[in-house]
Amino acid sequence: MATGKRQRIVVVGHGMVGHRFAQAAVERGLTETHDVLVIGEEPRAAYDRVALTSWFGAGSDALSLLPGGEYDDPRVRLVLDSVVTEVDRAARTVTVVSPPSAAEDLLANPGAVTVHEYDVLVLATGAAPFVPPVEGRGKDGCFVYRTIEDLEAIQAASATATSGVVIGGGLLGLEAANALVQLGLQTHVVEMAPRLMPVQLDDAAGVTLVRHVERLGVTVHTGVVTEEIVGGSSVSGLRMRQAGTEEGAPTGVVDAQVVVFSAGIRPRDALARECDLPVAPRGGVLVDEQCRTADPHVFAIGECAAPGGTMYGLVAPGYAMAEVVVDALLDGPGTFTGADMSTKLKLLGVDVASFGDAFATTDGALELTYADAVTGVYKKLVVSEDGTRLLGGILVGDASAYGILRPMVSSGLALPANPEQLILPVGSGAGVQIGMPDEAQVCSCNDVTKADILHAVSEQGCETVADVKQCTRAGSTCGSCVATVKNIIEDHFASVGKVVDKGLCEHFRLTRQELFDVVAVHGYRRFDDIVAAHGTGRGCDVCKPAIASILASQTSTHILEPATAELQDTNDKYLGNIQRNGTYSVVPRIPGGEITPDKLIVIGEVARDYGLYTKITGGQRIDLFGARMEQLPAIWRRLVDAGFESGHAYGKSLRTVKSCVGSTWCRFGVQDSVGLAIALELRYRGLRSPHKLKGGVSGCARECAEARGKDFGVIATEKGWNLYVGGNGGATPAHARLLAGDLDTATLVSYLDRFLMYYVRTADRLQRTSTWIEQLEGGLDRVREVVVDDSLGLGAELEAEMARHVGGYEDEWRATLEDPTKLERFVTFVNAPDTPDPSIAFTTERDQIQPIAPALIPVGAPA
Amino acid sequence: MSTVAVSLTPVCAVEAVPLEGGVAALVDGSAVAVFRTFDGSLFALSNVDPFSGASVLSRGIVGSRGDAPVVSSPMYKQAFDLRTGACLDDAAVRVASYGVTVVDGVVHVGSARPAGEVA
Ligand SMILES: Cc1cc2nc3c(=O)[nH]c(=O)nc-3n(C[C@H](O)[C@H](O)[C@H](O)COP(=O)(O)OP(=O)(O)OC[C@H]3O[C@@H](n4cnc5c(N)ncnc54)[C@H](O)[C@@H]3O)c2cc1C
Ligand code: SF4
C-alpha cells in the first residue's frame, strides 16, 4: 500500500478473528509499514470461544489466546474494556469509550472518550446471541452463552438452582446444556424443529443424538415453542406448546430457575449500519472477496461480515477472512470465496459430524446409511448419482471416519468400488485404505492441507504432531484433525522407509517410558540385567544416564553406589557441573532463595579460600566456579558442616523453586510464597527426572517470581493457589498453563506430586514438561484428567511413589563425604594424587579467576 | 612396535579402575586415561579431549558402538574407539593410544602407539 508515512490500522473487536488478524499482521510483516490499534470490548484479551464450555473446568487463563495480554510486536497496541461507539467515515476516525471499571466510580470517572484516526478500519465485532421476543425474557435467571462473563453469571445462578432450560437444540444449545449438566442442574433442551441440530443433522441422526443425550439425563423437547417464561422477578419455569398448534392450545410447564437462550446468533453490524455501509438482508456487513466493504478503507471479517451476502458462524472462515485482509493490505492476491461449513464436535461426549451436502440436495444424489441402535451409531454418506464421488455425510456416535471422508468431498477423490465399506464398522471386513490427495484440507480451522503437513515433515524437519502443530498451526484450534495429522506423519515416514525410531539409542529399541515400565515391572537394579534382557551391546552416553535416572527415580539409592556410579553422566558422576576446562562448579541449595547472613558469609569464605569465581544465578542461588575435581570433597565438607546440601545443579532433577518475597513483606502479597517455595523445593529436591525441573511461587497475580516460566508455577490467589504447568525459558520459551485454580495447600501438593511423577514416568529422555504435555494425546486436558480428575485411578499410586522419594531423600554430598569408597573417585591422577592437573590454569578478570583455554593438541598426532 | 615395552609405568591396582569406567594417570608427564571394559580388558588413551583441550576423557561413559568398545567424551560427547583412539564421530580425529599390561595385579602403561596399531 502507501509508502513513506506509517499507515494506521484500527481493528474493532478483539475476539478470535480480530486476534488472528493482529497475529497475521505481525507474522507476515504488515507491521513493518502499519501500526495496529485493536480495541476490544471485553475485559480480557481474545480467548478460545470455541472451547468456551471448558472454562468451567479450566478457567479463563487456559482459554486465553494471548496469555500475556499484549503482543510481542510493540507496533500492535491492544486496548481492552473499551467500545467503539461511532465510525466517521468522512473524517476516518473512530470514537472509543472506555468505561469506568465499576459502577460506583461512575461519578468520579464517567469513562474516557477518545477519537482515533485510521487509514484502514477492520471490523471484527463478531456476533451476538439472538434472544427471541418471548414474554418474560428479561427476568433474573435468563442468560445467553457467548462470553466468559455469561458463564460466570450462569455458574453463580446455578449455585442456588435445581433445574435449567436451554432454548434451542442446535450446536450451541447442546454446548450450553452440557454446561448445565456439569453444574449439576436437571437439564432440559427445548427445540422448535422436530429434531436436534436441525441445520446439520437429518431426522435419523437427530433421533440417534437424542438417545445419547437423554442417556446423560438431559430431557429433550423437540417440536415445541416457548410460550412464556414464568415467574416473578426471577424465573421459575417455562411454558411451552406443540409447534404448529394455535395459540391457546394446551401447554406444559417445566420448572427452571435458569434459562439459557441459544436460538441462533446475529452479526454485530450496528456500527456499519450507523455509518451507512451496506449490510446483507439477513444481517452482516456486506463485503467483497477481499472482505472490503463499500468503503475501500473499511474491511469486515469474522462473524460480523457477510461476504457475498452470507455470514459464517464458524471460526475457520473468520480466520480465512483475517488472512485475506492482511494479504490485501500487502497487495497480495488472496480472496475469500466461501467456506466449508463442515462440523465435527463432541457434544456431551457424543461424536457428531456433518459435512458437505449432508441433506443430499444435489440432483440425483444417493444416500447410504448405516445405523446401530444398540451402540447409538448412525452414519450416512451422500454420493453422486453415478456413485463415483462423495458429496457429503453425517456421522453420529462414531465420527472417526470424518478425517478421511471430509477431504474426499473437497478434493473430489474417486470413491472406492464399494463405498459402504467406508462407514461399516471395522472388523466387518471393512477398513479400506483411502489415499488422501495432497490438496485435501486436513485442518479446516487453520486451512492446512495434507501437502502443507507433508512439507513440514519432509522439508522442515517435523517429526511429531507437536512439531507439525508449531510449524503449520494444524490441530491448534478445535483439535478434531489431530488424529488425521498423526496418521499422515506416520504414513509419510512409513512410505519413505524411515522408521521413526523412538528407541533410546542403538542399544535399546525401547522408549524411555517403556524402559521405565520394564524396570518397574521386573524390579531391575543393575544395567547389566537390563541390557541383557532388553538391549544389545554395552550401552552408551545416552542409555546409561537414562537408566541411571530411571533407577534413581524408582529406588532412591545413592547415585554413586557401585551398581550405578559408572552409568552417570559426568556431572552426576562427580556431583558437580563440568566446565570448559575440566573444572567443576559448586552450587549449594538455597531453598526458595532465602538465606541467612551467616550462611552467606560461609559461601563467601569458601569461595575466597579456594579462589573460586562467584556468580549469582537466575534460580536465586550462588554458583562457585573453578573447583578442581580433587578439591570438591574439601569444599563440600565445609559447606555441609555449615548446614548446606547439594543443590543438584548438575542433575536432571529439581533445580530450584524460585519465589518472590510474598505476603510476609510485600504489601501486595496475599500468601506466603517464600514459605511454600521452600516447602516445595525441600519436598522435590533430588527427584531424578527426564530433564531438569524448575518451579516458582509468586505471592500474588503480579507474578514477580516469573512462576509461569517454570515447569511448575504457583501463583497465590485470595482463596489459595493457582497451579500452572509446562513453562520454561531457554531457546524455546513456553508459558505455563493453568492446571487447576484456588487450591488449598494440601491439594496443591497432591496435584504436584501426581503431575511430577506422571511426568517422570512417561516423558521421553530430555523432554521438558512443555513438550511432554504437547505430545501427550489430549495435551493439557489429558494431564488434567489424570492429575485432577484421577481418570486413570493412578492418583494414589503416584502420590505413594512421591512419598517414597521424599522419605528416601538424603543429601548426596553428605552421604558421599561419609563413605570413603565414594570419595576414592575424586582424584585427578591415580598414581599421583597430590599433583594437580597441569592443564588447568587461570587468569584474573574483574578481580576474579577465569579459565585459560587449554592448548588444543594437534589432531591425529600422538601427544 | 616390538612387544618388549620400552618403558612401563606402574599406575594402580587393576581393581582401582572401575569396570566400564576409567581413571587418569600421569605417565612421563602426560595425562593418560586407563579404561576397563565389562569383560575386564584394559585400554589406555590420551586423557586429553581433542575437541575441548580439557584433560577429561577418563571421566567419560564407557560402552560400545557396534563392535567397538568406546568412551564418549564428557565434554561434547564424541565417541572414541578404546582400541585405537580413533574418533568415531569425526574421521579426521584420533587421540593417542597406549599399550597397557598387568603385572602382578598392577596396571602398567607403556608408550604411545603409532596410529593404526591395534591393541
Ligand atoms: C459456546 C460456543 C461454541 C462454539 N463452538 C464452535 C465450534 O465448535 N466450531 C466453530 O467453528 N465455531 C464455534 N463457535 C463460534 C466461534 O466462537 C465464532 O465463530 C468465533 O468466535 C468468531 O470470531 P469473531 O472474532 O468473529 O467474533 P468474537 O469472537 O465474538 O469476537 C468479537 C469481539 O468483538 C467485540 N466487540 C463487538 N463490538 C465491539 C465494539 N463496538 N467495540 C469493541 N469491541 C467490540 C466483542 O465483545 C468480541 O469480543 C462457538 C461459539 C460459542 C459461543
Ligand atoms: S508477586 Fe505479588 S506478592 Fe510477590 S513480590 Fe510481586 S507484588 Fe509482591
Least confident of A1-5, A407-411, A543-547, B95-99: A1-5
CA distances from residue A411 to A339, A404, A414, A435 in whole angstroms, order as listed: 14, 11, 9, 11
More confident residue, A548 or A246: A548
If contacts are CB pairs under 8 Å, which of residues 47-76 in chain B contact chain A?
48, 50, 52-56, 59-66, 69-70, 72, 74-75
Contact A321, A291 (CB under 8 A): yes
**Has residue A33 got a pLDDT over 90?**
yes
What's the A624 CA to ligand 2 centre distance in angstroms? 29
Least confident of A16-30, A120-134, A831-845: A831-845
Residue A545 corresponds to which cell in the numbers above? 544416564
pLDDT number for residue A858? 42
Residue A590 corresponds to which cell in the numbers above? 538455597
**Has residue B3 got a pLDDT over 70?**
no
**Has residue B2 got a pLDDT over 50?**
no
A624-677: per-residue pLDDT in tens? 999 999 999 999 999 999 999 999 999 899 999 999 999 999 999 999 999 999
Report, as an integer, the average pLDDT of A481-499. 75
For residue A566, give the nearest of B30, B62, B72 by CB distance: B62
pLDDT number for residue B118? 47
Give the domains, in start order, of chain A with CATH numbers: 7-127+267-329 (3.50.50.60), 131-263 (3.50.50.60), 436-500 (1.10.10.1100), 512-568 (no CATH), 653-812 (3.30.413.10)
B65 contacts in chain A (CB < 8 Å): 506, 537, 540
Report, as an integer, the average pLDDT of A781-792. 90
| Pocket test residue of A665, A667, A704, A715 for ligand 2, highest count of atoms within 8 A of CB | A704
More confident residue, A682 or A859: A682
- pTM for the predicted model, two decimal places: 0.57
Q: Is residue A172 lining ligand 1, measured as CB closer than 6 Å?
A: yes
Q: Could you tell me which residues come within 8 angstroms of residue A176 by beta carbon, excluding any fewer than 6 positions away?
A: A53, A145, A166, A168, A260, A262
Share above pLDDT 70 across residues of chain B, in percent, rounded to a whole number: 90
B22-62: per-residue pLDDT in tens? 999 999 889 999 999 999 999 999 999 998 899 999 999 99
**Has residue A359 got a pLDDT over 90?**
no
Share above pLDDT 70 across residues of chain A, in percent, rounded to a whole number: 94
What's the A734 CA to ligand 1 centre distance in angstroms? 26
Instruction: Show me where the domains of chain B are located.
Output: 9-112
Q: Could you tell me which residues come within 8 angstroms of residue A115 by beta carbon, excluding any fewer than 6 positions away?
A: A93, A94, A95, A96
**Has residue A197 got a pLDDT over 50?**
yes
A130-152: per-residue pLDDT in tens? 999 999 999 999 999 999 999 99
**Has residue A300 got a pLDDT over 90?**
yes
Distance of CA A651 to the CA centre of its chain: 28
A704-750: per-residue pLDDT in tens? 999 999 999 999 998 999 999 999 988 778 899 999 999 999 999 99
pLDDT number for residue A101? 53
pLDDT number for residue A173? 92
pLDDT band, very low/low/confident/very high, at A496 (cuts 50, 70, 90):
confident
For residue B72, give the nearest of A540, A566, A828 by CB distance: A540
Coil, helix or strand at residue A797: helix
A582-613: per-residue pLDDT in tens? 999 999 999 999 999 999 999 999 999 999 99
Q: Report the mean per-residue pLDDT for chain A.
A: 88
Closest ligand to Cα A266: 1
Backbone angles phi, psi at A659, to 5 degrees: -140, 155
pLDDT band, very low/low/confident/very high, at A376 (cuts 50, 70, 90):
confident
In sequence order, the β-bridge partners of residue A659 are A697
DSSP characters over A410-458: HHTPBPPSSGGGGTSPTTSS-----PPPTT-EEETTTTEEHHHHHHHHH
pLDDT number for residue A107? 53
A792-809: per-residue pLDDT in tens? 888 999 999 999 999 989
pLDDT number for residue A459? 87
| Pocket test residue of A82, A118, A314 for ligand 1, highest count of atoms within 8 A of CB | A314
pLDDT band, very low/low/confident/very high, at A98 (cuts 50, 70, 90):
confident
Report, as an integer, the average pLDDT of A256-285. 95
Coil, helix or strand at residue A822: helix
Return the CATH superfamily for domain B9-112.
Answer: Rieske [2Fe-2S] iron-sulphur domain (2.102.10.10)
Q: Is residue A665 lining ligand 2, measured as CB closer than 6 Å?
A: no
